[in-house]
Chain A
Amino acid sequence: MTRIAASTPHRVRLILNGRERVGRAESRMLLSDFIRHELGATGTHLGCEHGVCGACTVRVDGVASRSCLMLAVQAEGRRIDTVEGLCDGDGLGDLQAAFKRHHALQCGFCTAGILNSCAEFLEQTPEPSERDVRDMLSGHLCRCTGYTGIVAAVLEVAAERRGSQPETPHV
């Protein structure tokens, strides 16, 4: 049984975007704060800190999850993927590039979380309908875009990856 006393820093080792990283976390430290403050990967943003807004969404062993609703010590040994891992070398990945093309972000605060959700969603649902995309986006709040550009970007990437034309989204 693992036991960690309160207020005692504990060594946490995980795989962040394919690289092994080690940091120290008290039992109460959230995974989101650990990623940002201990590991310095500040692409992950924190909005509401109670699981509603979706900004802090990362992938835990491939699965989109709120990093504010998980303790850093729970991530021991797990694979954590953040927005930094979506890049294609030094350039943008296809999903990120489509977001840029479709003005699917303005201030960008919510975008990292949305991209991580989209990344898992497109693996699970390679041929999504607009309704599927909107349903997936219900787990995120974006106050700038009105979501239309995001929906268009996701549908376009899905179509590109299949080698076909995207359906025209309804505004």
Chain B
Amino acid sequence: MKPAAFDYARPESRKEVLKLLAEAGSDARVLAGGQSLMAVLNMRLAEPSLVIDIGNVADLRYIEIRDDRLCIGANTRQAELVAWPELAERVPLLAQVMPWVGHFQTRNRGTVCGSVAHADPSAELPLCLAVLGGEIVLERRHWRRGRRVVPAGEFFQGLLTTARAPDELITGVRFPLARSDHHYRFTEVAMRHGDFALVALAADIGPDDILLGAGGVADRPVVRRMPRDADLDTELNTFAWSLGAEDDGHASAAYRRQLVRELGYKLLTEAQP
């Protein structure tokens, strides 16, 4: 339970990070809050030759609104987002979700982008990004095509697998701001509060359509669009079966499907605030 040996670099600027990534590529791992990566290193699920600690890169630490997006930098801790006074008004889904993201002791160091980068299928932040239709900003060292913006739907590709290339750095994520005629809901069942979700559900309820996303069941967050006037039982049952749930040590596939149906029904029918 100790990491294998690695070179350690603590650059002071984004440019230095991109240079190190360009040189080391898949041999390097980016360390931000460490709440996922350090566990992976301790268990030797990864043995990178270089760990790039971006903790000193000041311009990657921001929470700002640009156009209709909430933009969060790679160095912004989850606790900083929780403490941001406009969160409940601007992105109410995130305000509901944050208390479920780990524990306060891990939110103190864990970053928003780190959770997105790790892409655990049961993680709440990737689920929110997928349901809201957010984006991930990736940068690499290149004289012209150094930056690309990937929609969440394309970014998450499977268990701990994303569209990030080895020489790319996630510099930020963008969550769309709440729309006034939409409601946002979240619920989750886990073995204990803050533990990995057995099933997590997030919903964006618009005037005509509902976007319902599920985490913890498939190998990535999955989002389904359903019309508001659809037969909810049928829709939820179809959605539950579409996720390809499997049995594991924590819950059976049948239990996970049942959670999707029951929690989904509750989430979508409870009185709107």
* A contact set with B: CB distance below 8 Å: 1-7, 26-28, 30, 33, 48-51, 54, 57, 60, 63-66, 68-71, 73-74, 117, 121, 135-136, 138-139
Contact between chains at A139 and B104 (CB < 8 Å): yes
| B39: interface (CB < 8 Å) | yes
8 Å CB contact of B39 from A2, A51, A60 = A51
| B42: interface (CB < 8 Å) | yes
C-alpha spacing A64/B102, complex, angstroms = 13
| B226: interface (CB < 8 Å) | no
8 Å CB contact of A49 from B1, B11, B99, B194 = B1
| B84: interface (CB < 8 Å) | no
Closest chain B residue, CB of each to CB of A73: B8
Question: Quick one: given A64-B108, A69-B35, are A4 and B103 in contact (CB under 8 Å)?
Answer: no
Q: Which residues of chain A come closer than 8 Å to B49, judged between CB atoms?
A: 6
Contact between chains at A139 and B194 (CB < 8 Å): yes
| B182: interface (CB < 8 Å) | no
Please name 12 pairs of A and B residues whose Cβ atoms are closer than 8 Å in the assembled complex, sorted by A.
A3-B7, A3-B8, A4-B8, A26-B5, A28-B3, A30-B3, A50-B1, A54-B105, A69-B109, A70-B38, A74-B53, A135-B104
Interface residues on B, range: 35 or more
- The A contact surface, by secondary structure, is mixed
Question: Quick one: given A28-B2, A51-B106, are A2 and B9 in contact (CB under 8 Å)?
Answer: yes
Q: How far is the CB of A74 from chain B (nearest CB, A)?
A: 7
Contact between chains at A28 and B6 (CB < 8 Å): yes
Q: How far is the CB of B76 from chain A (nearest CB, A)?
A: 15
Contact between chains at A27 and B105 (CB < 8 Å): no
C-alpha spacing A153/B34, complex, angstroms = 31
Q: A1-B12, A27-B7, A33-B2 are in contact. List 6 more A-B contacts (CB 8 A).
A: A1-B9, A1-B10, A5-B7, A6-B7, A71-B51, A74-B55
| B192: interface (CB < 8 Å) | yes
C-alpha spacing A117/B194, complex, angstroms = 15
Q: Which residues 135-183 of B sit at the A interface, judged by CB distance below 8 A?
A: none
Contact between chains at A28 and B5 (CB < 8 Å): yes
Question: Quick one: given A65-B109, A74-B53, A138-B103, are A30 and B2 in contact (CB under 8 Å)?
Answer: yes
